Chain A
Amino acid sequence: MPETVYIGPYRPQLVEPERFELLVEDGRIIDARLELGYMHRGIEKLFTTKTYMQNLALAERICGICSGIHTLCYAQTVERLMGIEVPERAKYLRCIYMELERLHSHYLWFGILAHSLHEHEAFLKIMGERERIQDLLEYLTGNRINYLINTIGGVRRDITPEKAEKIRKALRELKPLSDYIMSLLGDNGAFTKKIRGVGVLPRDKALEVGAVGPTLRGSGIVSDIRKDDPYAAYDKLDFEIIVEKDGDVWAKALVRARETYESMKIIEQALDNLPPGEIAVKPGEPKVGEEIGRTEAPRGELVYYIRSNGTNIPERVKVRTPSYANNFAILEMLRGERLENARAVIESIDPCFACTDRVTIVDTKTGKRKIVSLKQG
Chain B
Amino acid sequence: MGKISVYRFLSAGCNGCDVQILECLVPRYRLANLGVEVVEKPEEANVLVLTGGVNVKGREYLLKTYEAIKPPKIVVAVGNCALTKEIFDKGYPMVGPPDQIIPVNYYIPGCPPRPQAIVKAIADILGVKIEEVEDYWQAPEGFRGKHEFDSEKCIGCGACAQICTADAIDVIDGPDKRIIRVNYGHCSFCAFCQDECPTQALRLTREYHLVTGDKERARVTNEVGLLSCAICGGVFFPEKQIDWALKRITLEKIPTYGEFSGEILDAMKVCTKCRRNIGNIRKAKGLLSKLSEKVRR
Hey, which bits of chain A sit against chain B, CB under 8 A? 9-13, 15-17, 37-43, 45-46, 49-50, 53-54, 56-58, 60-65, 67, 108, 111-112, 124, 127-128, 130-131, 134-135, 138-139, 142-146, 148, 156-157, 352-354, 357
The answer to whether A16 touches B93, judged by C-beta atoms less than 8 angstroms apart, is no
What separation, in Å, do the CA atoms of A143 and B14 have in the docked complex? 15
- 26 residue pairs bridging A and B, Cβ less than 8 Å apart: A10-B65, A16-B10, A17-B11, A38-B12, A41-B91, A42-B91, A42-B93, A53-B163, A53-B192, A54-B164, A57-B87, A57-B166, A57-B190, A64-B14, A64-B15, A64-B112, A65-B19, A67-B16, A130-B23, A142-B143, A143-B189, A146-B16, A146-B188, A146-B189, A157-B142, A352-B15
- CB neighbours (8 Å) of B112 from chain A are 64, 144-146
- CB neighbours (8 Å) of A148 from chain B are 190-191
Q: Which of B17-67 contact A (CB under 8 A)?
A: 17-20, 22-23, 25-28, 40-42, 52-53, 55, 57-58, 61, 65
- B94: nearest chain-A partner, CB-CB: A41
- B191: nearest chain-A partner, CB-CB: A142
What separation, in Å, do the CA atoms of A128 and B42 have in the docked complex? 27
The answer to whether A145 touches B20, judged by C-beta atoms less than 8 angstroms apart, is yes
Please tell me if B13 contacts chain A, counting CB pairs below 8 Å.
yes
Total number of residue pairs linking A and B with CB closer than 8 Å:
158
What separation, in Å, do the CA atoms of A349 and B191 have in the docked complex? 33
The answer to whether B140 touches A57, judged by C-beta atoms less than 8 angstroms apart, is no
Please tell me if B90 contacts chain A, counting CB pairs below 8 Å.
yes
What separation, in Å, do the CA atoms of A60 and B112 have in the docked complex? 12
Cβ contact of B144, chosen from A37, A130, A143, A353, cutoff 8 A: A143
- CB neighbours (8 Å) of B86 from chain A are 61
Q: Which of A40, A53, A63 has the most CB of B within 10 A?
A: A40
Q: Mark B132-154, 1 if CB is under 8 A from A, else 0.
A: 00001001111110000000000
Cβ contact of A38, chosen from B11, B17, B25, B142, cutoff 8 A: B11
The answer to whether B14 touches A111, judged by C-beta atoms less than 8 angstroms apart, is no
The answer to whether B93 touches A40, judged by C-beta atoms less than 8 angstroms apart, is yes
Please tell me if B257 contacts chain A, counting CB pairs below 8 Å.
no
Please tell me if B202 contacts chain A, counting CB pairs below 8 Å.
no
- CB neighbours (8 Å) of A13 from chain B are 8, 40
- CB neighbours (8 Å) of A37 from chain B are 55, 57
Cβ contact of B188, chosen from A12, A41, A61, cutoff 8 A: A61
- A143: nearest chain-B partner, CB-CB: B144
What separation, in Å, do the CA atoms of A53 and B190 have in the docked complex? 11
Do A12 and B40 contact each other (CB < 8 Å), given the known contacts A40-B12, A142-B191, A146-B111?
yes
What separation, in Å, do the CA atoms of A294 and B139 have in the docked complex? 34
What separation, in Å, do the CA atoms of A37 and B16 have in the docked complex? 18
Cβ contact of A11, chosen from B26, B41, B140, cutoff 8 A: B41
Do A127 and B22 contact each other (CB < 8 Å), given the known contacts A43-B91, A61-B14, A61-B87?
yes
Do A58 and B165 contact each other (CB < 8 Å), given the known contacts A39-B52, A124-B27, A146-B188?
yes
The answer to whether B15 touches A57, judged by C-beta atoms less than 8 angstroms apart, is no
Do A142 and B12 contact each other (CB < 8 Å), given the known contacts A127-B22, A135-B136?
no
Please tell me if B120 contacts chain A, counting CB pairs below 8 Å.
no
The answer to whether B11 touches A54, judged by C-beta atoms less than 8 angstroms apart, is no
What separation, in Å, do the CA atoms of A176 and B26 have in the docked complex? 18
The answer to whether B22 touches A42, judged by C-beta atoms less than 8 angstroms apart, is no
- B113: nearest chain-A partner, CB-CB: A144
- CB neighbours (8 Å) of B94 from chain A are 41-42
Shortest Cβ distance from residue B207 to the other chain A in the assembled complex, whole angstroms: 13
Do A62 and B92 contact each other (CB < 8 Å), given the known contacts A10-B9, A108-B19?
no
- CB neighbours (8 Å) of A146 from chain B are 14, 16, 111-112, 188-189
- CB neighbours (8 Å) of B93 from chain A are 40-42
Please tell me if B114 contacts chain A, counting CB pairs below 8 Å.
yes
- CB neighbours (8 Å) of B90 from chain A are 46, 49
- CB neighbours (8 Å) of B65 from chain A are 10
Shortest Cβ distance from residue B148 to the other chain A in the assembled complex, whole angstroms: 15
- CB neighbours (8 Å) of A138 from chain B are 114, 139-140, 143
- CB neighbours (8 Å) of A64 from chain B are 13-19, 112
Known A40-B57, A142-B144, A145-B19; 14 more pairs at CB < 8 Å: A15-B18, A37-B57, A40-B55, A40-B93, A42-B88, A50-B165, A54-B164, A62-B14, A63-B14, A64-B18, A65-B19, A138-B139, A146-B14, A148-B191
- CB neighbours (8 Å) of A352 from chain B are 15
What separation, in Å, do the CA atoms of A60 and B16 have in the docked complex? 10
- A49: nearest chain-B partner, CB-CB: B90
